[in-house]
Amino acid sequence: MRVLLAGYGFVGSVLASLLKASGHEITVLRRQPAGAMNGIEFVTCDLICGRPFDARKQFDAVIFSLAPDERSDAAYTATYCSAQQNLQAMVDASHYVYISSTAVYPESAGTWREADATAHSSRARILLEAEQIAQQMPHSAVLRFAGLYNSERRIYYGPPATVGEDRLVHFLHRDDAARAVTHVLARRLSGVFNVHDGHPQWRSDVLRRLGFLDAPLPRTGERRISAEKLFATGFVPRYADYFAGLDAPQAT
């Protein structure tokens, strides 16, 4: 299978290795020059500023996994919307996978499923606009990742700056995020899917276990994000919860 991967960051670098190990032909678009490495072809381009190809290219699968350099509406729009439109204008794919975020769900109590996303903030509005762009492709899947982490990027590094109400936190190990993409590709899945390990934890419990908090925080309603739709397709995370994956060795 010929696969084009836009983005070679925290998840993309692991994903490219997984796909290559499975025997696929991988082309990676990235802004930094790299040439070829470990049998992976790298094409230097900046999708925000321009288009990478002079003519249309056919791929079996295209994966959009870019992330903005800063947290601003302008950067989000340029990265998720403009860059994605530039890519789609120059490639054909029989399967298109777009990496989104569970930030499309508001921070309020309830169980949130794929159909429940709302433009509750400017960030959520841009993310949903980008998902709509992705879904214009003939056979597309949108994966909404929860909080990404691994042993090097732990999310929590010290005591909280402020102590407020407690909330449930949904996690996804970086390696399981990459595995979720390969699962979707292998099964030719389409539609929108929430992706996390299936075991949200109270933030204060996590902070206390890490030694960053002495007492529990006051709890209100539970905000749960359902990942049952993806689990029903047979996807099983390798790391069952945050602490199961925290000290796991990094993928090579």
Mean pLDDT computed over every residue of the chain? 92
How many angstroms separate the Cα of 152 from the Cα of each of 10, 13, 148, 246, 251? 11, 14, 11, 8, 11
Confidence of residue 219 (pLDDT cuts 50, 70, 90): confident
Looking at residue 54, its pLDDT comes to 57
Domains of the chain with bracketed CATH: 2-246 (3.40.50.720)
Tens-digit pLDDT profile for residues 164-208: 789 999 999 999 999 999 999 999 999 999 999 999 999 999 999
pLDDT in tens, 3-17: 999 999 999 999 999
Q: What is the rounded CA–CA span in Å between residue 58 and residue 66?
A: 20
Q: What is the pTM of this model?
A: 0.94
pLDDT at 36: 63
> pLDDT tens digits for 98-132?
999 999 999 899 999 999 999 999 999 999 999 99
Phi/psi region, residue 110 (left: phi>0; alpha: psi -120 to 50; beta: rest), is left
At 179, which helix (H) or strand (E)?
helix 174-186
Q: What is the pLDDT of residue 5?
A: 96
